[in-house]
Amino acid sequence: MVKFKSVAVCALVAAAGQASAQQMKMAERPRPALAMPTEPRVLEDGPITICFAVGTTPGYVFLMNKLTEMHNRRFLGENDFFTFGSWSGTSATPRALTWSFVPDGVLAPGLSGQGSAASNLFATMDSGFASQGGRATWTNRFAQSFARWQALSGLSYTRVTVGGNDWDDGAAWGSGGSPGLRGDIRIAMRLLDGANNVLAFNQFPSGGGDMVLDSGDIGNFASASNSNRFLRDVVMHEHGHGMGLQHVCSLNSAQLMEPFIDTSFDGPRQDDTRGAQFLYGDDFEPNNTFGTATPLGVLGASINSVPVPNPTTGTPDTNSSIYSIEGFNQEDWYSFSVTAATVASFTITPVGSTYDNSQQAGNGSCPTTASNINTLAIGDLAVGVYASNGTTLLGQSTSGTVGNPETLSNVSLTTPGTYFMRVFCSNSSSLPQAYRFTISANSPCPAFVTHPVGNDYCDGALVALTVSVSGAPTPTLQWRKNGINIPGATGTTYAFNNATSANSGTYDCVATNSCGSATSNPAIVQVTEQPFIDTQPTNQVVALGGTATFTLVCNTPPPINFQWLQDGFPIPGANSSTLVIPNVGPEHEGSYRCLINNLCGNANSTVVTLTIGETCYPNCDGSTVAPILNVNDFTCFLNKFAANDTYANCDGSTTAPVLNVNDFTCFLNKFAAGCS
């Protein structure tokens, strides 16, 4: 009897035989035909792809491509990712797998035209990792690779060792898994074709899922970069075939299962994760009934879905999720509890993007034209919420459109206890739709989620105050100004155009339902007018030594800034509506104006002048140096009185004697009054 097996082989194509740590060509190749060791043959193994190193004989390439093309027509189907069998048999069904290393010496198969050879896995890897912690390091890298697939899918893995050794019982290759003796997946290493060409090959699940690595590539596998990412990406890629995933070609995205592997990222990407979840479900399977619901804990302010865990190095694909559902035949159930009556809202958000995922041709080539899929819009997500018995429907939403979040708002959870959320698809898609979710708790009494925010505005502006409020039933709203209801202002936003100072005040909003009322925080609105000068200053003619006063009137509400200028230059300290200049001297003659401004604009007063007019009478000595009026003026007056100078006739009398004591009194009074 001939036993057919599914085999995937991955090869590295590098110019002049030089390995690249960034790109490795991964491809399917046949197992050897042992009956005719010198003739390449393609067995009835399932779909295969062959990649060739630079310099391969053209005739050999042509022959192998023709053989694989005819062969693949019998196996390859169509899908938005490409699979060939699975360990579960039924899509989206979780499965526990075991894995093990074979001991050195177990005969492992080779490439086409090669016979079996003894596995040298431990000797080769121990030597290659001698400076990196030895066996403990490289075996942990394999464990990390399987753990990454476990975190992203419904698969779980357990390593099998026997007799205190790091390997299994050493049964012949192809013996299959046996509990406690050897893993479902067995891993060996042998020389295939040396460095930089074929890296490894892996059987599909129907062939046993086993993996053979090329010991000639130990230099690549032992690269320490990014925690041995080269080795881990090869192992995760190869086991992708062992899970049932075929290659995917993409012109505009990066995926682990592409024919070329890109070590700029770590492990499975979006398409790889979706493929694994299509075959085995997500990491929370089985949770397709309320009896197997995934527990989420106590609902506080909110419950958010768990993010994609970080890989060993680098970051996860943001378009991936550890939650997915098949619209045709799957639903996900989650349980949560509340400690008091509350109102909750549920949002289910699709996750994905548009990218090219084309199928690799049987001859190993990839299409040159993109075949894009929008994984954000595969399934039309829907959500339902159930009471503690798992059957009483409290609310359901199917109104959202495909590719957009589905939201179910204000579901009353009237008593403390356990409740259930059911996520499903309302369309008939049979492919995974990745998603995330949020459950938000709201009090049934009104509560402001967003409060209005006040501000300073200029006259003529648009003023808009906005609130958002929670509560069940939905609260009614009433806006107030300075504590007085504003007629008709009952929406979540209160706005008015062409604001004036009359609109200044304190605003708030009152929310009311059957549970009670709540008042928002106050919002202070200050409307400022552009400054305007109501009364302009006037020209001044002042006697030498007198006092000049310029005044303007501005009725614009404060704050207002003033700045007086003389001949265009700011006068230090002249910052009020009135400018007073005492002891006017020649240096004060000139032009004056005032600049006023606030946050909404500015205004300039008219330009006025200060002129020195007639002499100040008490300034008898005619001095121009401050202080203009001083003791010298008294001496001057006495001298003029003694000389019978008409200047001394201060009171202007015409009756003899014209100069008398009254003139002294008059001079004293004028001196005391100063110059004006």
pLDDT range class, residue 327, cuts 50, 70, 90? low
Number of Cβ atoms within 10 Å of the Cβ of 159 = 16
User: Which of residues 19 and 481 earns the better pLDDT score?
Assistant: 481
Please give the model's pTM, rounded to 2 decimal places.
0.62
> Domain 7-14+21-278 adopts which CATH fold?
Collagenase (Catalytic Domain) (3.40.390)
Tokens in use for 424?
Answer: 């499903």
**Token pair for 631:** 């003791």
Helix (H) or strand (E) holding 237: helix 225-243
What is the arithmetic mean of pLDDT over 409-415? Answer: 89
pLDDT of residue 85: 85
Q: Looking at the domain covering 448-526, what would its CATH class be?
A: mainly beta
| Confidence (pLDDT) at 429 | 73
- Asked if the domains at 7-14+21-278 and 282-442 fall in one CATH topology, the answer is no
DSSP state, 553?
A: B
Return the closest-CA partner of residue 552 out of 606, 609, 611, 626: 606
Residue 354 contacts residue 374 (beta carbons within 8 Å): yes
Ranked by mean pLDDT, the top range of 2-6, 84-88, 639-643 is 639-643
Domain assignments of the chain as residue spans, ordered by start: 7-14+21-278, 282-442, 448-526, 540-612, 615-676
pLDDT band at 152 (very low <50, low <70, confident <90, very high): very high
Between CA 486 and CA 507 the distance in angstroms is 10
Whether 217 and 120 have beta carbons less than 8 Å apart is answered as no
Q: Mean pLDDT across the stretch 65-78?
A: 45
Q: Is the pLDDT of residue 79 over 90?
A: no
Q: Which amino acid is at 498?
A: N
Q: Say how far apart CA 276 and CA 152 lie, in whole Å.
A: 8
Model confidence at 471, in pLDDT bands (50, 70, 90)? confident
Phi, psi of 621 (to 5 degrees): -85, 0
Contact yes or no for 592/565 (Cβ under 8 A): yes
pLDDT confidence of residue 625: 80
Once rounded to an integer, what is the mean pLDDT over residues 270-290? 94
CA distances from 167 to 125, 160, 172 (A): 13, 8, 13
Q: What is the CATH number of domain 540-612?
A: 2.60.40.10
pLDDT of residue 99: 98
Task: Supply the pLDDT for residue 558.
Answer: 84
Looking at residue 30, its pLDDT comes to 32
Look-up: residue for tokens 């505005």? Answer: 457
pLDDT of residue 621: 83
Query: CATH number of the domain at 282-442, please?
Result: 2.60.120.380
